[in-house]
Amino acid sequence: MYACTFGVLARRERGLIRKKVAELAGVSEATVSRVLSGVGTVKEETARRVMEAARQLNYVPSALAQRFALRRSGNLGVILPMLPKVNLFSTYYFSEVLSGIGMTAKQRGYDLLLLFREPDEPRDYANLFRTQKVDGCIIIGAQDVPSERAALAELREGNHPFCLVNQRYDGEDYNSVDADQRTGCREAVRHLLAQGCRKIGFLNGPAVYSNSKDRLRGYREALEEAWLAFLPERVLLGNYSRTSGYQQAKAVAALVQAGHIDAIIAANDRMAIGLLQGLKESGVKVGEDVALIGCDDSDIVRMTDPPLTSIRVPFFDIGSEAASRLLDAVADQDGSAAFDVKLPVKLITRASSSAAGTTKA
């Protein structure tokens, strides 16, 4: 526990140690005391050299003292929203992204520090760096609200390495790894049109998530492509929970029975599954009366009745890509350029979208 006892060594001894370490590390004595006392900032490379020299001279600092001097926690932070009544890890989206992050962090020798954020809790992300709890952080479920924008701006000002997952901010070039949801929804609409559907509805999530906006854009673009009008009354809103999909089922059933829609795309599988359950209860047959497409291609969609057509999003890859690029940035804080990755998605067709439209055409 050398670095700890440094504080209580006699001044003469401290001077002696400083001198020896400085010689061995090839730095000034002032630098050595900055490193060993944890005062002031020192280039990481230099700090490492000093620590190494101290070690060679059998002044073995404690791990905490090392992190103290190197300003390193060895932790990769992941900021997650605390969703009311949702077991976060039980949602396919968070599960897969975290698995990808965890696998990569492990490979890179980092531990994962999970930081849960209550909806109304102040977002003081920079403090995680000030208190050296993390060396970098990934933010999942970030929303486009003023408090979040402020917190991210503070991270940027502090030059703290961070990365957004599945979220973007107009006018900001923050590090981000995302899926190409826009193309995904375009593909989904094209597929439904090919099935003979002409009246395609859309159950979207909140606009505070850039993904919701991307999906809506893709949906509109594909309609325009086919010279079909965009009708606002065919667009419903949920909050990405299964319950919200279930709650919209009555409205969707009414639209189907009134002949106003013959297909619907849900912005994630959870809402699609809630919708599927609700439509069953309303006597509407998915895959016959109406075509249904979800998004995520989560493990559950193979098991629904009928199996659900869904847009496969590589969440695991998104997580590992975010972690590996962020940890590169952590290792090389000056040299690293901002990154903005969009991974491709793929439509997986199943019975829920089988020629529903045509049977009615």
Site for a copy of itself in 280-339 (CB under 8 A): 299-300, 303-305, 316
Site for a copy of itself in 118-157 (CB under 8 A): 118, 130-133
Q: Which stretch binds a copy of itself (CB under 8 A): 46-54, 81-89, 159-167, 287-295?
A: 81-89
Min dist CB 272 to a copy of itself, Å, is 12
Q: Which stretch binds a copy of itself (CB under 8 A): 20-28, 50-58, 94-102, 162-170?
A: 94-102
Q: Please, which residue, 36 or 222, has the CB nearer to a copy of itself?
A: 36
Based on the shown chain and the rule CB under 8 A, indicate whether residue 269 belongs to the binding site for a copy of itself: no
Helix, strand, coil percentages in the chain from 3-state DSSP, rounded to 5: 50, 15, 35
- Answer yes or no: are the C-beta atoms of 266 and 308 closer than 8 Å: no
Based on the shown chain and the rule CB under 8 A, indicate whether residue 346 belongs to the binding site for a copy of itself: no
Between CA 161 and CA 128 the distance in angstroms is 11
Based on the shown chain and the rule CB under 8 A, indicate whether residue 258 belongs to the binding site for a copy of itself: no
Buried b (16+ CB within 10 A) or exposed e, 183-195: bbbbbbbebbbeb
Q: List, in order, residues 6 or more apart from 109 with CB less than 8 Å away.
A: 74
DSSP label of 260: S
Size of interface with a copy of itself, in residues (CB under 8 A): 54
Q: Please, which residue, 61 or 357, has the CB nearer to a copy of itself?
A: 61
Helix boundaries (H) for the chain: 2-5, 11-25, 29-37, 44-56, 63-70, 92-107, 126-130, 146-157, 181-194, 210-225, 242-247, 249-257, 269-281, 315-331, 356-360
Buried b (16+ CB within 10 A) or exposed e, 277-310: ebbeeeebebbebbbbbbbbbbebbeebebbbbb
Identity of the amino acid at 32 = V
Residue that is written with structure tokens 């059998």 in the block: 58
Based on the shown chain and the rule CB under 8 A, indicate whether residue 90 belongs to the binding site for a copy of itself: yes
Q: Which stretch binds a copy of itself (CB under 8 A): 114-122, 149-157, 214-222, 255-263?
A: 114-122
Q: Please, which residue, 36 or 330, has the CB nearer to a copy of itself?
A: 36
Q: How many CB atoms lie within 10 A of CB 259?
A: 9
Based on the shown chain and the rule CB under 8 A, indicate whether residue 16 belongs to the binding site for a copy of itself: no
Residue that is written with structure tokens 């999942």 in the block: 140
Q: Please, which residue, 225 or 299, has the CB nearer to a copy of itself?
A: 299
For residues 25 to 54, the per-residue mask of contacts with a copy of itself, x marking binding by CB under 8 A and - elsewhere, is --------x--xxxx---------------
Footprint of a copy of itself on this chain (CB under 8 A)?
1, 4-8, 11, 33, 36-39, 62-65, 67-68, 74-75, 82, 87-90, 92, 94-96, 98-100, 102-103, 105-106, 111-116, 118, 130-133, 273, 299-300, 303-305, 316
